[in-house]
Structure 1
Amino acid sequence: MISTIEAMAEHDDVDPEIRSFIAALNHGYGQFSDFDALPLPERRAAAETVRERWRAGGPVMAETSETIIAGCRARVHYPHAPAGAAPLPALLYIHGGGWTMFSIDTHDRLMREYAARAGIVVIGIDYSLSPEARYPVALNEVVAAFRALRRDAATLGIDPAAIAIGGDSAGANLSVAACLALRAADDVLPAAMLLNYGAFDPAETASYARFDGPAYMLTIAEMDRFWGNYVADPAARADPLVAPLQADLTGLPTAFLAIAECDILADANLTMAARLQAAGVAVEAQFYRGATHSFLEAVSVSSLADRALDDAARWLAARLGVAA
């Protein structure tokens, strides 16, 4: 079910702990002279440095392995050893960053949090970034990675029938698009979708105007650049595999949406939750007041992020049949 959501009011603002997270990130990026003007490789390296603090700490895994999945660098987190020979449920996690930035390193703590809290294996991949590799390269890699996990499930110690897919921002977009591509191929779908503040459509809505600017993490200018990097031809942005909000969502897996109130993408996420439900998909949508885009990465300092991760972990464990 979709949680009751009150209308956003003009006086609503960012949770104080999330605001401190944004301030720290902005300070970090401010150490680089004219960050936005840096060549893209340098911007990516700077972002990895700035976010290093936020991926540190957190749950310790029983085992973490590095491998290659579908041609992509991948990391597999095991929160505990399998009980006997029983395979574990799993989550294929697709990191955000506007299809342009970030990696399984920037999102490592987030993946470990899901692994520990839900009691599942979490696998992340470094899909090819744009604009060097535009649509549909990353999407094809995600689809291939899911198929590889099912094929190699026994080797990885995971249950091929209990693999969810999910991600944040661009990663949530790729997760839904991968399910659409698998459905079109009449292939097996993931068991569930975990969708954190997804970039589901390029159309600007009221939340764009309300929450634009550095005080709210993600800006309109950034999002425009990201869409331009991912898809060269603006006309192609209407493709449902690019903008899943335009797709027929019938038959997609059950979904959990974490929706940040103070996010330019808030409206698109509310609409995605409603359209999934209208298509007959079982949906749990949680609306986090005072949260901004990327707020889950603030878990080391934010009780709101901690609660949101617990909400999603409980849902994942229930959907994937994790023993209590």
Structure 2
Amino acid sequence: MTSTQEAHDDVDPDIRRFVVALNHGYGQFSDFAALPLPERRAAAEVVRAPWRAGGPAMAETRDGTLAGCRARFHYPGTSRTPRSALLYVHGGGWTMFSIDTHDRLMREYAARAGVVVVGIDYSLSPEARFPVALDEVVAAYRQLRGEAAAHGIAAERIAVGGDSAGANLAVAMSLRLRALGEPLPAALLLNYGAFDPAPTPSYARYDGPAYMLTIAEMDQFWRDYAGEPATLDDPLVVPARADLTGLPPAFVTIPECDILADANRAMAERLHAAGVAVEACIYPGATHSFLEAVSVSPLSDAAFEDAARWLAAVLGHAPA
């Protein structure tokens, strides 16, 4: 039995099915890791397609642009009054994935929290290294605020969130805006974020494809995004190095069986120590990317419900 097939007792059985299915999907491509990056991106879109299918139907979905990037607007219902919104920044190690791979995640948040969810396809590394993606996310947030009325959105009730690299960009965007004295998001939704490249005990404990994300992959992601090693000294690249004072209220989703678990616990603790209102939820048996398993996993379903209740409350309306 290979490591990708091994049944780990600490992983939730439904999440394990998801991980095994993805590993099998990638295994259909000859030496996936050695493929040129454009081919790996295309393969990832195919492998993840079944997991973005289904889920909540939207009253309206619009494709457009924000800050010159492809964007998608999901409206869970009709309303005559401006609504709360979530600007969602997809994960993928700054190098992979898109608003297509993350479409179901966005629709789940829209339906459950009763918010307009806006996804952005920022430029990927290593072709566009730091700070390109960060600049684009900052510009997209500014544009969304400036054009909020045209989109049926309340400018003062826009949260920003993301998973993995997307959570990193959400925090870094807030740090950039704070430094410039510009309006911050109303809230931060941080799903298993890439906040610190330093190895921790969870790195060693949960390394390997059986837990979705490997140390080697994560190290390469950081290299592709940062470029020069000295760039990792910048707190806009590594939010674990930042002063977090004054950031918006945050919800931190922490899968127990993730190499990034310790870094996410530390981020939640540092946010709390900085006086930020933070709610951190640890999900036993969950791996990195487990939210994508919502079609088969009650654990993922519960995590969406937890975040949706929090998001609706912090944005000041009842959940859907």
Normalized against structure 1, the TM-score is what?
0.95
Alignment of 1:1-324 (within 5 A): 13-82=10-79, 84=80, 86-323=81-318
Query: Aligned partners of 1:101, 1:61: CA distance in 2, in Å?
Result: 26
Q: CA deviation at 1:12?
A: 6.3
Deviations 1:79-124 (A, max 9, x none): 0011x2x101000000000000000000000000000000000000
Query: Aligned partners of 1:231, 1:323: CA distance in 2, in Å?
Result: 40
Query: Aligned partners of 2:209, 2:156: CA distance in 1, in Å?
Result: 42
Deviations 1:185-217 (A, max 9, x none): 000000000000000011011100000001100
Give structure 2 stretches of 5+ with no counterpart: 1-7
Query: Aligned partners of 1:13, 1:318: CA distance in 2, in Å?
Result: 32
Measured on the aligned residues, the alpha-carbon RMSD in Å equals 0.8
Query: Aligned partners of 1:246, 1:12: CA distance in 2, in Å?
Result: 34
What is residue 6 of structure 1 aligned with on the other side?
A: none
Query: Aligned partners of 1:323, 1:242: CA distance in 2, in Å?
Result: 35
Q: CA deviation at 1:323?
A: 3.6
Query: Aligned partners of 2:275, 2:219: CA distance in 1, in Å?
Result: 31
Query: Aligned partners of 1:301, 1:233: CA distance in 2, in Å?
Result: 41
AA aligned to 1:313 is A
AA aligned to 2:208 is G
Q: Any idea what SS the aligned residue of 1:74 has?
A: strand
Q: Any idea what SS the aligned residue of 1:81 has?
A: coil
Query: Aligned partners of 1:323, 1:159: CA distance in 2, in Å?
Result: 15
Q: Go from structure 1 to structure 2 and tell me whether the alpha carbon gap of 1:51 and 1:222 turns closer, same or farther (over 3 Å shift).
A: same
Q: Any idea what SS the aligned residue of 1:51 has?
A: helix
What is residue 5 of structure 1 aligned with on the other side?
A: none
Q: Stretches of 4+ moved more than 3 A in 1?
A: none
Q: Go from structure 1 to structure 2 and tell me whether the alpha carbon gap of 1:275 and 1:150 turns closer, same or farther (over 3 Å shift).
A: same
Query: Aligned partners of 2:174, 2:241: CA distance in 1, in Å?
Result: 14
Give structure 1 stretches of 5+ with no counterpart: 1-10
Query: Aligned partners of 2:176, 2:162: CA distance in 1, in Å?
Result: 17
Query: Aligned partners of 2:28, 2:318: CA distance in 1, in Å?
Result: 47
Normalized against structure 2, the TM-score is what?
0.97
Query: Aligned partners of 1:322, 1:25: CA distance in 2, in Å?
Result: 36
AA aligned to 1:26 is N
